[in-house]
Amino acid sequence: MSTQPTTHQHECCAAHSHETQKVSDTKIQVHPWLAPVVSLMLLSTGLLFDSTLAPWFTPSVRLLWYAVAYAPVGIPVLAKAFRLVMSGEVFTEFLLMSLATVGAFYLNEYPEGVAVMLFYTIGELLQDAAVHRARRNIQTLLDLRPANATVLRGNQYIKIPAAQVQPSEILQVKAGDRVALDGELLTAEASFNATALTGESIPKLLTQGQPVLAGMICEQQVAEIKVTRPFDESSMARILTMVQTAVSKKAPTELFLRKFARYYTPAVALLAATIVLVPWVFVKDYHFHEWLYRGLIFLVISCPCALVVAIPLAYFGGLGASSRNGILFKGASYLDKLSQTGTIVFDKTGTLTHGTFVVKNVVSQVATTEWLALAAALQSRSNHPIAKALIKYVQASAPFQVNQPQELKGLGITGIVNQQHVTVGTTRLLSHLGIAFPTQLNDITSTLACVAIDKVFAGYITFADELKADSAATIAQLTRAGINTIILSGDKQAVVNEVAAILQVPTAVGNLLPEDKMQQLQSIKAASVKPVAFVGDGINDAPVLALSDVGIAMGHGTDVAIETADVVIQNSEPSKIITALKISKATQRIVWQNIALALGIKLIVLALGAGGIATLWEAVFADVGVALLAIGNAVRIQHRQIGT
């Protein structure tokens, strides 16, 4: 059983999903789980009748009952085996499954034959659903592209489908609206939230002639934009294309059972035939039915039921354990890949940080810091993230009278507070108002708010995007575990360097657009011999989440990042990555324990069966019994307490 379908497995699963979903000559859709549910109900009822020795459950009725139970799950596999044989691919797991189950029916072990096919079908359906879940949801990106745009036509603005807007036309974007197409700003200046593209949490002030990208959100004003690219070539459209391309580059993992079946299936078929036919040459009292019975027992014992159950159940146990720890894996294959990961790449904003500002430092140029409370009072009239951080920091209780507040977009705010003229903003705002300030402020790389009282510089406040409480401990544990850590961010390089220094991350690159992150990640993957994971939370992270071997999204991030990722940390705590790693490694250990258990016992009983020592009781144990042992082993991980 694989954690990701191979070509034949996928085709078989497709056969199950299509052949059971569609009724010939009709449009009726049937749920793909209907066939295994019906088979399970009939099998369970038949076993009940067997145990109660119901008088009406005669051999003929019993055969018919189990044949009906077998049909929903067995016929698609039998048909697939036949088609592959006809196409020249004889030795496949489909043929072995077919021979083993038909052999079980020949030996009157009907429940065994039904159970084998039932387990196989359930496993295939579960795996198919897990692998394709993320891909089906990629289309969510389209929801972020505005369907309509307001365009200037005939001396008036009208709303039309965004796809109909042509280059050189003029768009009007109101406050709070998302820009639908790429263009150049015609308005003198306007503030835009570019988080969707760069991940940078600070609104970006653009001036006339500067490029505006689709996906940006206009902040608190109306802006006019001249379109430079058609809708399908916009920044958001390119992100969608990159995500789809990156997903298509994920090669399907060829897992253990498929590889093993290349040798196991023809070997078992050849040995079974040898057991039946070779004794005819060497045994004097050769009885065909006796040796055929041994050969069929051999096939029943060698049926891959235990392997089919052992591997996926170990993964399902890991998936269950991770779910209880607030970690969602979108497929068992990502448990496998994460356990082998050698490098984890982090986005900064919203991933290692909260994505919200806090006051980092307050520097006063006057004798007292009364100016700080006045600045906070004025900032209470603003919705800017920096204003909210300052208000939270000061927590002033004294009443302030604020008059004539005037916010200059991207520069700051001025007003009268308790009859004093207060200015809070950038050095550009101070220069614009003719307020003198120390020139070294221009060299500060942190986010800065300068304060002047009655046009006299009073001091400044620096702000930082607050690190999550467990970010440093997470990086430290990853480093101790021998995993490389890297930061790729759309934020300023100076800010990224500062965060990297605090967390002790050796490599950190800033000022990256989605295309740049893609190139950086491709280089990292090319230089790494082990899988590379990426952790992010924003729309701009969607392409790299899809391109990485394991994409990990923060649960408080954007819907697109969550849908594109392979793993979702529901509470957005970086430390959960450590928990996920521990669960993935524990799952891998159980997987290989189950493989060793299944193969070891089977090889022993196979030898006994070939010698005529093992009976059907041993055959049942070697198949169903080993499967139950594997189930018990897999369940262990679900009850383990795995901490960070």
Please choose, from the candidates 509, 519, 521, 513, the residue with its C-alpha nearest in 3D space to the C-alpha of residue 538.
513
Whether the CA torsion 444, 449, 455, 459 is positive or negative: it is: negative
In eight-state DSSP terms, residue 29 is B
Rounded CA gap, 577 and 14, in Å? Answer: 34
In eight-state DSSP terms, residue 442 is G
Burial class (CB in 10 A: 0-12, 13-18, 19+), 641: exposed
Long-range contacts of 362-368 (CB under 8 A, 24+ apart): 362/459, 362/460, 362/461, 363/459, 363/460, 363/461, 363/462, 364/458, 364/459, 365/438, 365/457, 365/458, 365/459, 366/458, 366/459
Give the count of beta carbons closer than 10 Å to the beta carbon of residue 550: 26
Half-sphere exposure (Cβ direction) of 156: Cα atoms closer than 13 Å: 3
CB proximity list for 72: less than 8 A, separation 6 or greater: 20, 34, 35, 36, 38, 39
Rounded CA gap, 297 and 103, in Å? Answer: 8
Give the count of beta carbons closer than 10 Å to the beta carbon of residue 261: 22
Rounded CA gap, 74 and 159, in Å? Answer: 56
Rounded CA gap, 388 and 336, in Å? Answer: 43
Which of 336, 347, 537, 623 does the annotation list as catalytic? 347
* 629-63-298 Cα angle (round to 5): 45
CB proximity list for 517: less than 8 A, separation 6 or greater: 488, 490, 540, 541, 543, 544
φ, ψ of residue 356 to 5 degrees: the values are: -125, 150
Question: What does the chain come to in residues?
Answer: 644
Tokens of 260: 């093993």
Residue type, 137: N
Helix pair angle (288-302, 256-277), 10° resolution: 170
Rounded CA gap, 331 and 129, in Å? Answer: 8
Q: Are strands 484-488 and 507-509 parallel, antiparallel or unpaired?
A: parallel
Tokens of 17: 């999903």
Rounded CA gap, 2 and 7, in Å? Answer: 11
Rounded CA gap, 394 and 375, in Å? Answer: 9
Helix pair angle (514-527, 235-248), 10° resolution: 20
470 is annotated as an active-site residue: no
Rounded CA gap, 122 and 308, in Å? Answer: 10
CB proximity list for 548: less than 8 A, separation 6 or greater: 345, 521, 525, 532, 533, 534
The set of catalytic residues is: 347
